[in-house]
Amino acid sequence: MTDANTPVSAEWLKDRLKRHFSELTRLALPAVMMRIGVMGLSMVDTALWATMRPNTLHG
């Protein structure tokens, strides 16, 4: 652990940010994929519901 006043190198900072970004991506990816899947399922469900419901407008 470094002291708050210790200067850090640019390479260390670059590696640290890269590691944090990859970890964030790894943790967030399942949630993002689930949301995309739910949105896709709702669009397909809406499209199928619209085509399969009885036509009540000209009843």
DSSP conformation class of 16: H
Tell the residue number behind the tokens 């390479």, with chain if given: 11
| Residue range 29-45, pLDDT digits in tens | 999 999 999 999 999 99
DSSP conformation class of 58: T
Long-range contacts of 26-30 (CB under 8 A, 24+ apart): none
| Residue range 1-58, pLDDT digits in tens | 556 677 789 999 999 999 999 999 999 999 999 999 999 999 999 888 878 776 666 5
